[in-house]
């Protein structure tokens, strides 16, 4: 009996240790993601501020707003294609090379990526009103928090959603490429609605996946690996948030 009680106590202590480690792991994921988000929007706001001027130039974008030479270089030259696709290249390169990086280096690269993403989406401050950007950001934050909490607490296995959501994401990308040429407002509206639904599902799915990955690997005690897993988890949730925000902005944002 004494031996059984000892085993039970040891098991309970181990479970408590894993739970405490999981909370610390998720806090690191959300903390890293939040810092990345702040960097992104600070970079976007700063770049947009440098890109516009009230002084008339040849690059007029509204009745009283003009692009500076810097803004014209970013948004009205071939450089815009590099800026547009730089985050995508960053994600692929980061995912492929993270095993060769230390956890600290991976975190630094993530923050650099967040700044690059900020430059890439800085155009939203030229197209949408500041008030609508703030409103949509708050809506996205509330929706993201609820979906991520669901993914963390639900007992339902969401792994089956993964394949379905990835297929939907591929279809969404194809539709966006097609509409790039068609320029159909109705198709753009449908893409935005579907995009919101896909990234809402991915938020819950990725949160559960991050949790399950930690639980599966916690026994290894490899803190370096767990540190990298937290960075990759932050990247996944960061991308879910940014994409959901961008699609919601297309749906509900007020244009300048």
The band of 8, judged by pLDDT with boundaries at 50, 70 and 90, is: very low
pLDDT of residue 97: 85
Residues 149 and 203: beta-carbon distance below 8 Å: no
pLDDT of residue 14: 61
The band of 2, judged by pLDDT with boundaries at 50, 70 and 90, is: very low
The band of 90, judged by pLDDT with boundaries at 50, 70 and 90, is: confident
Least confident piece of the model among 12-16, 54-58, 100-104, 153-157: 12-16
Separation of alpha carbons 75 and 30, rounded Å: 32
Kindly state the average pLDDT of the residues 182-187. Answer: 91
pLDDT of residue 36: 97
> 7 pLDDT exceeds 60?
no
Domain coordinates of the chain in residue numbers?
2-252
Please, what is the average pLDDT of the chain?
Answer: 88
Kindly state the average pLDDT of the residues 173-196. Answer: 93
pLDDT of residue 254: 86
First to last CA, the chain: 74
Residues 34 and 43: beta-carbon distance below 8 Å: no
> 130 pLDDT exceeds 80?
yes
- Going by C-alpha positions, the residue among 174, 206, 197 that lies closest to residue 244 is 197
pLDDT digits (tens, 9 = 90+) for 221-249: 667 888 899 999 999 999 999 999 999 99
Count CB neighbours of 100 within 10 A.
Answer: 8
Kindly state the average pLDDT of the residues 179-205. Answer: 94
Separation of alpha carbons 214 and 208, rounded Å: 10
pLDDT of residue 98: 85
- Global confidence as pTM: 0.89
pLDDT of residue 12: 59
């Amino acid at each position: 009996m004494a031996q059984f009680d000892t085993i039970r106590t040891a098991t309970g202590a181990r479970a408590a240790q894993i739970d405490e480690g999981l909370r610390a792991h998720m806090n690191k994921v959300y903390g890293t993601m939040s810092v990345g988000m702040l960097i992104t929007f600070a970079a976007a706001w700063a770049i947009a501020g440098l890109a516009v001027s009230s002084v008339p130039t040849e690059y007029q974008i509204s009745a009283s707003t003009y692009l500076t030479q810097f803004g014209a270089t970013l948004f009205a030259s071939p450089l815009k294609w590099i800026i547009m696709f730089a985050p995508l290249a960053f994600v692929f390169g980061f995912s492929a090379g993270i095993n060769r990086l230390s956890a600290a280096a991976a975190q630094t690269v993530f923050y650099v990526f967040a700044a690059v993403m900020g430059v890439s989406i800085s155009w939203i401050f030229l197209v949408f009103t500041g008030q609508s950007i703030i409103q949509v950001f708050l809506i996205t934050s509330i929706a993201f928090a609820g979906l991520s909490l669901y993914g963390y607490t639900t007992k339902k296995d969401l792994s089956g959603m993964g394949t379905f959501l990835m297929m939907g994401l591929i279809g969404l990308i194809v539709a966006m490429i097609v509409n790039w040429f068609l320029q159909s407002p109705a198709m753009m509206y449908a893409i935005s609605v579907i995009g919101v639904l896909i990234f809402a599902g991915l938020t819950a799915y990725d949160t559960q996946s991050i949790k399950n990955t930690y639980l599966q690997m916690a026994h290894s005690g490899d803190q370096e690996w767990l540190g990298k897993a937290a960075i990759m988890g932050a990247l996944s949730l960061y991308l879910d948030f940014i994409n959901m925000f961008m699609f919601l902005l297309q749906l509900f944002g007020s244009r300048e």
